[in-house]
Amino acid sequence: MDTTMSSRDLTKSNAVPMAIVAGLFFILGFATWLNGSLMPYLKQIFDLTPFQAALILGNFYIAVTFTAIPSAWVIRKVGYKNGMALAIGGMLLAALLYIPAAETQTFGLFLVAQLFMGIAQTLLQTAVNPYVVRLGPEESAAVRVSIMGILNKSAGVVAPLVFSALIAAQFTGLVGKELTAEEVTMMADSLILPYLGMAAFFGVIALAVKFSPIPELQDEDEDGNDQGTVKEALRHPHLVLGVLSLFFYVAAEVIAADTIGAYALSLGVVNYSVMTSYTMVCMVVGYVLGIILIPRVISQQKALTCSAVLGILLSLAIVFGSAESTAIADAVLVPFGGAQLPNSLLLIAVLGLANAIVWPAVWPMALSGLGKLTSVASGLLVMGIAGGAFGPMFWGLLSGAGDAAGQQFGYIVLVPCYLFILYFAVAGHKKRSW
């Protein structure tokens, strides 16, 4: 039976594909936001500087720079469905690489494992994002991507909690201490079984996707011509500006979600490994608001504008706010049994609210009217994820020696990121010629 369907067919019968792809977004989120806990954990094991710790994120996200376009080529050759299965198989192999890295306590091997995980996830991103955009009308695409985002970011809430429960919780007494060789070995070895289990899980999911009833998506224009080229895609300024917007957005998102644990560690917060969950909770709230409000109350463009403005204001408050005061936590967390955390730390988490709608809004705005160029354009947009490599590195460089005050100042790098997103929301997405 032919399971190849056009995008018009998909809009009529999309419940099963939507459910399967939703599960893949959860898996993407779990593997991605695990970095927020892994980064400070390895920072403690290897006694890394902020810049060295940022390399853990950098190797994961830099893979996008040189694999996004090849990923689009792979999707065109094997199809969206097979591309998804192949990507998850790659994540299985990457998870296995963490085991020798932990056994040998070699930081370089951890970076290699991060690189391969990033390559596999790039392929998966290139397949699933355009699939969701094409599952329905363009004007409501941000809502569908928001639903996927809720699952992705919910996984971001779960992943740090699982990491803490299985790994970090047994070493909370070591926070702020200089580790002995025996303690380093215990902390490193604790990673082996969880990553072995993760690899087995990825293997099952890869087989499930391969034999699932996901229909293939055709990227053809109305005349049935072949798909376009990168050169053709780059002639569309709203796409290029969309790629740059995603670059700056992912830089901001990764800084907010994955450096918050390292900053919390510098402040002496015992449960630093769960701080990513705070950012992810705020992102889930943002996605829910997006689903409720777009397009009924507010357009994708206006929602993106509001997100950028909020991001600028929060970034300035983080940099120039107090790291000693706990007024925010005293008002909204402590009365309900929550932790007493510094204002600057909680404001980083609230950036999740500003970040939530950016990805779902930029994708449909950047892909608007591209037709046969969709798969190539999607590969270019996925390249924007490379911002996740450079954002934390610049944060690490601006953090200096790595004390709490230096790391707090490092968040100034967020301001230009949100300024560019604001430009795309207001004017960039309207450009149709150079």
Instruction: Give the pLDDT score at 142.
Output: 65
The vertex-63 CA angle with 62 and 65, nearest 5°, equals: 70
For residues 256 and 388, the answer to whether their CB atoms sit within 8 Å is no
Per the CB < 8 A criterion, the answer to whether 277 and 293 are in contact is no
Low-confidence residues of the chain, pLDDT below 70? 1-14, 135-136, 138-140, 142, 217-228
Task: For 129-149, write each residue's pLDDT tens digit.
Answer: 777 777 667 666 767 777 887
What pLDDT shows up at residue 1? 41
pLDDT at 157: 87
Yes or no: say if 249 and 384 are a contact pair by the CB < 8 Å rule.
yes
Residues 6+ apart with CB under 8 A from 163: 34, 37, 38, 41, 194, 273
List the domains of the chain with CATH numbers. 4-430 (1.20.1250.20)
Please calculate the CA angle 186-177-190 and round it to the nearest 5 degrees: 20
Give the DSSP H/E element, type plus range, for residue 392: helix 387-398
**pLDDT value, residue 138:** 65
Length of the chain: 434
Greatest CA separation for the chain: 68
The span from the CA of 18 to the CA of 243, in Å, is: 25
Residues 6+ apart with CB under 8 A from 382: 64, 68, 71, 72, 122, 125, 126, 129
Structure token digits, residue 52: 């060295």
